[in-house]
Amino acid sequence: MNRTSPQKSRLPKLPLSGGALRGLFVFVFAVGIALNAGILRAENRSIRSAAAAQPPFSEEDIRPNAARESTAGFVLESAPLAPPLADNAAPTDPAELQASLDRLKAQIDSLKRELNGKQNTPDTRKKFSARVGGMLEIESVTVDQSLANQEIYGDINNDFGFRDVRLWVKGEGYETLGYNVTLGFTGRLTFKNVALTARELPILGNATVGHFDVEMGMGYLESTYDYTFVEEDSVNTTFSFGRRLGVGTVHYGAGQNARFFAGVYTGKPLSIGDGKHANENCDNVGLLLNTRLTAVPVYRETADGALDEVLHLGGAFCWVNPGKDAETGRYRPTTLTASPTVWLADMPALISGEIETNSYSVTGIETAWQRRRLGVIGEGFIGSYNGYDNAYGVAATARFLLTPGAYQKYDKSGGYFAGIHIPENMRFIDYGNHTCLEGWGAWELVGQWSWTDLDTLADAPRADFAGRMKQYTAAVNWYWNPQVRWGINWIYAEPVGSPRGGGDVSSSVNALACQARFTF
């Protein structure tokens, strides 16, 4: 989940305290909920009072156009709509009226699913198909620092703007090939995933070549479009490798309940998308070897296909030769950093440093369990650097979906969680002269604790602030539908480290991050 610097405007430092700002955001959020609830109750009362006086829609009024006309060269076939009410027999019982509306809604939803299925199922036996999509993230972050933190790192300004803007084109063709071209537009044009995949090859299985993710950390591998928090946790940003140019292969077993990935990448991240050559100033790009093994010993679904319970176990390993710089002839330094947010331009790494080594390795373990609406995830990392001590990182996450029937979906093909199943999307519908709120989407509460230990950098020649950092994150997410999510995160970080020339110093920083994410 490679985050990039946004195009944004800088807010002046507000005279309010951090607590007042957080209270303001929560107040606005609560007012929105109260207003929606008021609209719902008021409109429902209006509908009941007008039910006897206003006849319901006729069958022709509510029949979708897709059920009457040809669309894109085909005609949808569906069960006939419910028979219309007899003349002059408008129901006066609100329960009967609601039952009629429920039947009509079910039939309309069936037509929509049929339409989507025909539109989104290309014929892969012929030439390449193409699907276009994207994402827009708008974010605001308010920061409150302790006095010690201000003395060490300086003043960190509040920020708001576009966090991430992406467009992608994906497709399949000739039965076995698939491609993904994803571009980012924050700050400058960048390439994200740019890769070609061939499926079911002899020996290689499913093989991918191009610019794509190194598989280290379940949290990092979650799609940017489905990530739970506004900010990626500091542990994953410290020990993950982002995207590299490489070749990878995936094999499955036990009905996709077991997955093995192996990849070979360049040791140096490539400057794709900024107009430079990938191997600029470099005759030795280094080497990165990556493996990841995941298993799902428990995976149960209900009779209607909903995920009932899943247990995920996995581990990953990376060995890296960073390569040598063409000008100096020395190995490129390896930089480790930890920060509560990577988005703010003024937010420095709270603990950081560089290590010059000819090779190092990172080992990760991951486990996750979900039972309907409740889920927990745990991850741990150990970095071993030639000539230095080890570095460590641990993260634990718990989440609970408040909406009955909602659950987090699991993607066996990637070995990670992918999105939320929403039993009823939030939307506004018209009924005569009234506007009604139908559905509330899905609400989610999430908490996370993480700990990063970079004391290994204490003896490094460029260790600016080696040390340890604890981070706590609490989040409330509101999913209107699979494409729209509103999130509020409170982040508290407490770095304890040794600035160069001094002893251990403890400080703290709070951040309130609000984000609107839209995918299409």
Name residue 330's beta-bridge partners.
none
Residue partners of 31: CB distance under 8 A and separation at least 6: none
Counting as low any pLDDT under 70, the low residues of the chain are 1-92, 116-126, 271-283, 343, 345, 458-465, 498-503
Name residue 309's beta-bridge partners.
300, 371
Domains and CATH numbers, the chain: 128-272+282-519 (2.40.160.10)
Instruction: State the pLDDT at residue 519.
Output: 92
- Phi/psi at 185 (5° precision): -130, 35
Question: Which two tokens mark 89?
Answer: 């027999």
Instruction: State the pLDDT at residue 409.
Output: 93
For residues 170 and 164, is the Cβ–Cβ distance under 8 A?
no
Q: Which of 317, 314, 306 is nearest to 410 (CA)?
A: 306
Instruction: State the pLDDT at residue 444.
Output: 96
Instruction: State the pLDDT at residue 73.
Output: 39
464-520 pLDDT, tens digit per residue, is 667 889 999 999 999 999 999 999 999 999 998 766 555 678 899 999 999 999 998
Instruction: State the pLDDT at residue 121.
Output: 58
Residue 267, burial from CB neighbour count under 10 angstroms (0-12, 13-18, 19+): buried
For residues 474 and 481, is the Cβ–Cβ distance under 8 A?
no
State how far the alpha carbon of 212 is from the alpha carbons of 179, 247, 349, 366, 453, in Å: 11, 9, 25, 21, 28
48-92 pLDDT, tens digit per residue, is 444 444 454 444 444 444 333 433 333 444 445 445 545 555 566
For residues 447 and 438, is the Cβ–Cβ distance under 8 A?
no
Q: Which of 450, 313, 406, 414 is nearest to 368 (CA)?
A: 313
DSSP 136-158: EEEEEEEEEE-HHHHHHH-----
Question: Which two tokens mark 362?
Answer: 């990172």
Question: Which two tokens mark 198?
Answer: 């061939």
Name residue 391's beta-bridge partners.
383
247-294 pLDDT, tens digit per residue, is 999 999 988 899 999 999 998 887 655 445 544 556 678 899 999 999
Whole-model pTM: value is: 0.73
Instruction: State the pLDDT at residue 450.
Output: 95
- Rounded to the nearest 10 degrees, the angle between the axes of helix 18-50 and helix 94-119 is 110
Instruction: State the pLDDT at residue 299.
Output: 96
